[in-house]
Amino acid sequence: MSRVTEEEIRSLGELSRLALSDSEVETLKRDLESILEHMDALAEVDTTGVQPMTHVLGTIGHLRSDEVCESLAVEEVFAASPERTEDCFDVPAILPPGSNK
Amino acid sequence: MSAMLSNEKWEAVIGLEVHVQLATKSKAFSASAVQYGAAPNSLTDPTVLALPGSLPVFNEEGLRLAMRLGLALGCTIAKHSRFARKHYFYPDQPAGYQISQYDEPICAGGSVPILEDGVRKEIALTRIHLENDAGKNNHAGARSLVDLNRAGVALCEVVSEPVLRSATEAADYMRSLRQIVRFLGVSEGDMEKGHLRCDANVSIRPRGREAFGTRTELKNINSFKFVQQAIEHEIARQIRALEAGETIVQETRLWDADAGRSRSMRGKEEALDYRYFPDPDLPPLEVSDATIEQIRSELPELPLDARARLIALGLAAADAEQLSSERRLLAYYDATLASLGKSNAKLAANWVSGALLAELGRLGKSIGDSPLEPARLAGLLKLIADDTISGKIAKGILARMMESPDEAKDIVEREGLGQITDSSALEAIVDELLDNNPKQVQGYREGNQKLLGFFVGQVMKATGGKANPKMVNQLLRARLDT
């Protein structure tokens, strides 16, 4: 039984801004299915009374005080940027997220 | 037009999400400065730019401010909350996700008070959660220029229940929220700088029906005027559509302030899947009862509570509203009253909201840096209250006290500005006046009562405004009415 549809893979690809070829869609579909199977195996463990762990470290309440440090120099900011205009990142015109033109 | 008529039949259901910029010096998760109008991309750091290896650490002041707002609004503070990643790609969001709170926000419940025809009404909140801001995009034709100075700034999102029923109520709610965050110092609340930004969820339903209609989300409504306009426009649009037999499409619409209308941004089928999950970079937030109680104990009186207190002192609603509109103005008024005594609450209200603010306006100063301190103003007002000087003389003295450190009573003594309360001196002036104006005296005695004002004016003129008006009136009536 296929639990992941091709459509779901393509939609995830789009959300992740990944251009997937047909064969990649097929591969990812197989991979995800086996990942889900592994999750099923994990789900068989009885976790009654066990607190969910979202963080490996026990650190709790680690905060920083509201102090300002020097900013990164503008030259460093743009060191890895392909396009720069007037000290701004120059990108193709932004459309509202999700809008299809 | 049709919208106005239809309001009898349709009811609007509105919920607002207001993003409030917290007044922290540094960003939510890193130490670059928060500052408006700085040179583009001059306020960044590796975390803001999401450079590999950088890690976010939350700003304790951001947490304190969000809890302060939550406690002031009667929210329940979560002793355990956590951050989640909200994923979407956009050039102003270098990480590819926003750090927000999803299933465990810092505050739940609570309400924002508004005034409806002078009566307090509570607008219920769903939650308040913490998140970071995105950068700013300047659109230039086929290109967009991205400035990341604002990226990473600490925000809290105040989410109301869908309990607002009109565009006016929504705008009032936003005004009240702004006033409260300014009172609390939680945010500078500067609308021009985008410190409060609002999204509105709007639907309509036939009056009396319980179930909600299909809602649309309006984005980008960032002033009180636009909140009102955009929601009014959306309600009318939905009513027109339903009355024409169409159905409302669940969608996100962008308010175009220049065109005065909204346009569709994305439909339900294009709705983003944010794929929230707990941010593994950030440990959960734990807050102790002691911290919560400490913050609660530091809360100031809120504007509408102050308004009610001032009305109870005998102030007119409009005066009470004005004096409680701003924290420093209220503090000034209260300090004046502390020196003057509560029995003169109205006198103090008139002078603080009237002559004092006018003088400050003339000098281009705000109440916070008034050169005339509350105690000295109270000294001046005492002289009015005990009839030592007239209001008119007091106005002149007030203007001079703005520019000198002198006490009112010293100025009055030095310059002999005290009212003439010696009745024999006033009697002589009144007698002379009546002798010199027989025609007016006759006119008054024949029934033209208005002429009394003329005589009072003449006495005041002759005494340089120093005559006690009450005494002048009595003397004149005694002479004229016999």
Contact (CB<8Å) B273/A15: yes
Do both B165 and B228 map to the same domain? Answer: yes
The residue of chain A nearest to residue B264, with distances taken between CA atoms, is A99
Which phi-psi region, left, alpha or beta, contains residue B364 (left: φ > 0; alpha: ψ -120 to 50)? left
**Domain boundary, last residue among B396, B415, B434:** B415
Do both B260 and B385 map to the same domain? Answer: no
B103 near A CB under 8 A: no
Asked if pLDDT for residue A99 goes beyond 70, the answer is: no
Tell me the residues of chain B between 14 and 73 that have a Cβ less than 8 Å away from chain A.
Answer: 24-26, 31-33, 39-46, 49, 57-63
Of chain B, the end-to-end C-alpha distance in Å amounts to 65
Phi, psi values for residue B428, rounded to 5°: -60, -45
Domains of chain B: total: 3
In sequence order, which ranges of B353-407 are alpha helices (DSSP H)? 357-363, 374-385, 391-401
Asked if pLDDT for residue B425 goes beyond 50, the answer is: yes
The confidence score (pLDDT) of residue B3 equals 47
Do both B429 and B465 map to the same domain? Answer: yes
Residue among A61, A64, A90 whose CB faces B285 most closely: A61
Which residues from B are below 8 Å from A100, CB to CB?
A: 270
pLDDT band of residue B478 (cuts 50, 70, 90) is: confident
Which phi-psi region, left, alpha or beta, contains residue B266 (left: φ > 0; alpha: ψ -120 to 50)? beta
Bigger pLDDT: A12 vs B2? A12
**Domain boundary, last residue among B232, B260, B294:** B294
B263 near A CB under 8 A: no
Do both B165 and B272 map to the same domain? Answer: yes
Residue among A61, A66, A77 whose CB faces B49 most closely: A77
The residue of chain B nearest to residue A99, with distances taken between CA atoms, is B266
Instruction: Give the number of C-alpha atoms closer than 13 A to the C-alpha of residue B171, restricted to the C-beta side.
Output: 13
Do both B461 and B338 map to the same domain? Answer: no
Do both B447 and B319 map to the same domain? Answer: no
pLDDT tens sequence across B289-338: 999 999 999 999 999 999 999 999 999 999 999 999 999 999 999 999 99
The confidence score (pLDDT) of residue A61 equals 63
The residue of chain A nearest to residue B278, with distances taken between CA atoms, is A54
Of chain A, the end-to-end C-alpha distance in Å amounts to 37
Asked if pLDDT for residue B441 goes beyond 80, the answer is: yes
ipTM of the complex: 0.85
Which residues from B are below 8 Å from A61, CB to CB?
A: 283, 285-287
Asked if pLDDT for residue A2 goes beyond 90, the answer is: no
Q: Side chain identity at B386, as an amino acid letter?
A: D
Which residues from A are below 8 Å from B271, CB to CB?
A: 98
Residue among A66, A69, A93 whose CB faces B144 most closely: A93
The confidence score (pLDDT) of residue B1 equals 42
Do both B396 and B457 map to the same domain? Answer: no
Across the range B184-206, mean pLDDT stands at 96
B79 near A CB under 8 A: no
Compute the Cα dihedral for B202, B119, B184, B316 and give only its sign.
positive
Long-range contacts of the stretch B290-299 (C-beta < 8 A, 24+):
B291/B67, B292/B67, B292/B71, B292/B77, B292/B79, B295/B64, B295/B67, B295/B68, B295/B71, B296/B71, B298/B68, B299/B68, B299/B71, B299/B72, B299/B184
Do both B348 and B279 map to the same domain? Answer: no
The confidence score (pLDDT) of residue A58 equals 65
Contact (CB<8Å) A59/B283: yes
Asked if pLDDT for residue B5 goes beyond 60, the answer is: no
Contact (CB<8Å) A86/B145: yes
pLDDT tens sequence across B22-65: 999 999 999 999 999 999 999 999 999 999 999 999 999 999 99
A15 near B CB under 8 A: yes
Bigger pLDDT: B1 vs A17? A17
Compute the nearest-CA separation of A55 from chain B (Å): 6
Asked if pLDDT for residue B2 goes beyond 50, the answer is: no
The confidence score (pLDDT) of residue B480 equals 84
Contact (CB<8Å) A61/B144: no
pLDDT tens sequence across B352-398: 999 999 999 999 999 999 999 999 999 999 999 988 888 888 999 99
A18 near B CB under 8 A: no
Asked if pLDDT for residue B257 goes beyond 70, the answer is: yes
User: Where is B452: in which H helix or E strand?
Assistant: helix B451-462
Q: Which of A35-44, B126-135, B180-189, B433-442 comes out lowest in average pLDDT?
A: B433-442
Question: Which residues, other chains included, contact B280 with Cβ-Cβ below 8 Å and sequence gap of 6+?
Answer: A54, A55, A56
The confidence score (pLDDT) of residue B310 equals 97
Q: Which of A76-80, B122-126, B449-453 comes out lowest in average pLDDT?
A: B449-453
Which residues from A are below 8 Å from B39, CB to CB?
A: 74, 87
Q: How far from chain centre, in Å, is Cα B76?
A: 24
pLDDT tens sequence across A16-69: 889 999 999 999 999 999 999 999 999 999 999 988 777 776 666 689 999 999
Compute how many other C-beta atoms are within 10 angstroms of the C-beta atom of residue A63: 15
Output the CA–CA distances (angstroms, integers) from residue B52 to A57, B46, B56, in the order listed.
20, 8, 12
Domain residue limits at B391? 301-415
Which residues from B are below 8 Å from A78, CB to CB?
A: 41
Asked if pLDDT for residue B6 goes beyond 70, the answer is: no
Do both B327 and B383 map to the same domain? Answer: yes
A2 near B CB under 8 A: no
Compute the nearest-CA separation of A95 from chain B (Å): 9
Do both B361 and B276 map to the same domain? Answer: no
**Domain boundary, last residue among B242, B270, B294:** B294
Compute the nearest-CA separation of A51 from chain B (Å): 13
Which residues from A are below 8 Å from B252, CB to CB?
A: 96, 98
B361 near A CB under 8 A: no
Output the CA–CA distances (angstroms, integers) from residue B219 to B202, B203, B251, B256, in the order listed.
11, 14, 11, 10
pLDDT tens sequence across B333-358: 999 999 999 999 999 999 999 999 99
Percent of chain B clearing pLDDT 70 (strictly above): 98
The confidence score (pLDDT) of residue A59 equals 61
Do both B403 and B427 map to the same domain? Answer: no
pLDDT band of residue A94 (cuts 50, 70, 90) is: confident
Which residues from B are below 8 Å from A57, CB to CB?
A: 283
Residue among B57, B92, B265 whose CB faces A64 most closely: B57
pTM over 0.90: no
Asked if pLDDT for residue B78 goes beyond 80, the answer is: yes
Contact (CB<8Å) B61/A66: yes
Do both B428 and B409 map to the same domain? Answer: no
The confidence score (pLDDT) of residue B389 equals 86
d(CA B148, CA B61): 22
Averaged pLDDT of chain B:
92
